[in-house]
Chains A and B, each alone.
Chain A
Amino acid sequence: MNENKPDNLPIRMSGTFSMLAILLVSVLFVFNLMFGSVSIPLEAVWQLLTGGDTDNVVWHNIMLQSRLPQAMVALGAGMALGIAGLLMQTLFRNPLAGPSVLGISSGASLGVAFVILVAGQLFGISFSQLGLFGDVSLLFAALAGSLGILLIILLVSQKVGGTLSVLIMGVMIGYLSNSLVGIMKYYSLEEDVHTYVIWGLGSFSRLPLERAQLFLMLIIIPSLGCLFLSKWLNLLSLGDNYAKNLGLRIKRSRMIIIMMSGLLTALVTAFCGPIVFIGMAVPHLAKIISRTSNHFVLILNAGILGAATALFCNLIARLPGIDTALPINSVTAFVGAPVVISVIWNRRKEQLGDS
């Protein structure tokens, strides 16, 4: 094939952008290891990453026990949320769809609330003092909660035809589980409520290195699997009727896409707490740099940019000069909300242009 053919132009240009984005992720990853309440020079980071000997044990410990797992979790979580958000936005053909909108994050919160607030009282112990066992049960509760809500959404999406109704159902289920959590909070011990609130703020820093590695593996495999959904997503983006006319089995493909994006969201929420706005904002950034409607490219870029965004937010949260890290969700909201607002702003302009 002649590579100069303009057919390939958008792909090649977005390829360049993707390379730049990967470079950005690497730089941000290294910055995440370097900066914080203690600044560590680049050479020490390099020594750690290349597996060399360490000159400074304190630096080494800080990176290995705190910053490296944190950066790995941020990378994985951002990637998963970016891809999950893109899947949702295409499936619902709605630029404001995101993992949290479907109620999956709320489902995870419900599970966690049950463990922290209710189970603790039933057994007469406070989970906040249980250590590792408490952590593990927390993770399972989050997974169970998100996948439970996901199953409800799946059933609803089979019974109810339109994607919009499924979206509204998701929002309603989110409200319901929030109010359930509110009731649980009301009858709980003060320290348990405190624990739950801390979890709800979201954090990339809960996992030690081994579990951060496991988390990253658990994220990367389904993320790569999503690339195989790209043809379906391309067809669904034309609208259900056109997709059906082009031979797509709508129900089956829609189910599998919901399942994948739900799995990614559940994983992240279970390990990091509910992380807002990344899943909604990153797909828009991916569409801007991709310049193609092909989801193979879009998914790749959403993953890369999601990782970059999460690393960037994590960096901001631990800016030098601040003693304790800021809650990550406050930072993601500050980074993500302007993107979402600008999307709505541009849509308004388009609508004005139409009339």
Chain B
Amino acid sequence: MINAAGREIPSVINGYKEVMPFSGAYNNPGNGIRTISRYKTVWPGGNKVLGSIREAVEKVGLRDGMTISFHHHMRNGDYVLNMVLNEIAKMGIKDLKIAASSIFNCHEPLIGHIRNGVVTGIEANYIVGFVAKAISKGILDRPVIMRSHGGRDRAIEAGELHINVAFIAAPTADVYGNLNGIYGPSACGSLGYAFSDAKYADRVVAITDNLVDYPLTPISIDQTLVDYVVKVDRIGDPKGIVSGSTNITRDPLGLKIASMAADVIEASGFLKDGLSFQTGAGGTSLAVASFLREKMRAKRITGSFGLGGITGFFVDMLKEGLLKVLLDTQCFDLKSVESLREDSNHIEISSSMYGNPHNKGAVVNNLDVMILGATEIDTSFNVNVTTGSDGIIMGGSGGHNDTAAGSRLAIVVTNLFKGRLPIVVDKVTTVTTPGETVDVLVTEQGIAVNPRDEDLKKKLIDSNLPVVDIDKLKDMAYRLCGTPDEIRYKDRIVAVEEYRDGTVIDVIREVV
């Protein structure tokens, strides 16, 4: 069948639940009941601190066929996922499903655990590197489920993703299981992605390299949710966890695109007191924030909140008074970790509050402007950030389709082509974010407005911005790069791209 994003979706996908095709971004509200979580009582006098990961795995009763979860605040510096899986593998437990919010290059040992049958399933919001490539080459029998950040929390809360044991990397933990991310040698800042895991998993094991006396303050994830605490030497490599600093692009094309995007925000009428926005940590996205900051200064505008994925750049805007509040699911650099620690207007939020489409209103719904990147965008404004031009997985939604759907103005910024790859294409390789939720595309060769948004188009034209038809941009890109050949796939589906509401927006097949 053809879904509402124009993609051919099989009615049955082996190894995946009943297929609900994507039917429109705002068409599938949550119903039923939020999942129940299991009681586990700790009586007075109980001790939560265990001597090893092995002991924790034994105590929580992990068995073949279960689902274990990890969060990705340690990013490419994470030691915890590998550490836990190595122990589990030694114990001879098999057939596990890994529900990690993201998987990075540092998780390469996962491939060995898949080969040995320890791991037979993966669900994640973002997968890059060796594991992503192995998945695209068909290493798993069951399709991987790829979700958005908000979609993962939705799936957990709806009981679609039931976690037996959550292993939470905790930069600081006290002996009774209170956790935060802002202190310790592996401080990562916000623990936003781990909240739902802690709340809804049957068993929760915190793994820390900074065990402190009771009670810890402040508390992000509290003792009522945590079964055990394990102290290890290190939970991550600080160099991979947060970057020292995140920088605005120096690429002149990126700067030009960013400047145009800031002009779009102004022309569309959002540049006024109370402005809220999010940008990615990519160089061009950050540059948009920088141009926006200039405009806010010049017009003496005070924004409302910045959302994300927080960088030092947003912290500066908070300090300068250009933003009143930062709402933070993840810190990208040391400056934002420090700010979360010290500034009471810098607030840690869960990724469910951030983007879950089925709760009583996620923060993305309050967002005025979202700056998005794209690996590809097609003439229907569908965006791919999941697969590369070769069809191999190299990312995933993260917050992409959550913020596109929630924000009032979703702007995609990208070069028209990179190297010889057209970014504006006929049909994206994979739909991550449906075109109906994308308002504007800004490239160095012109600005395309989604045709459903005539008013916006008029505003941009009235402001003398170079508005062009998206088909024209595509033609321009194809004239320079040539029309790309089709990717050759096998029949087998290696991953299902779930939209944030749990419907199937696309499938990803095994590459030849």
Q: Is B a genuine binding partner of A?
A: no
| Residues of chain B whose beta carbon lies under 8 Å from any beta carbon of chain A | none
Q: Which residues of A contact B (CB under 8 A)?
A: none
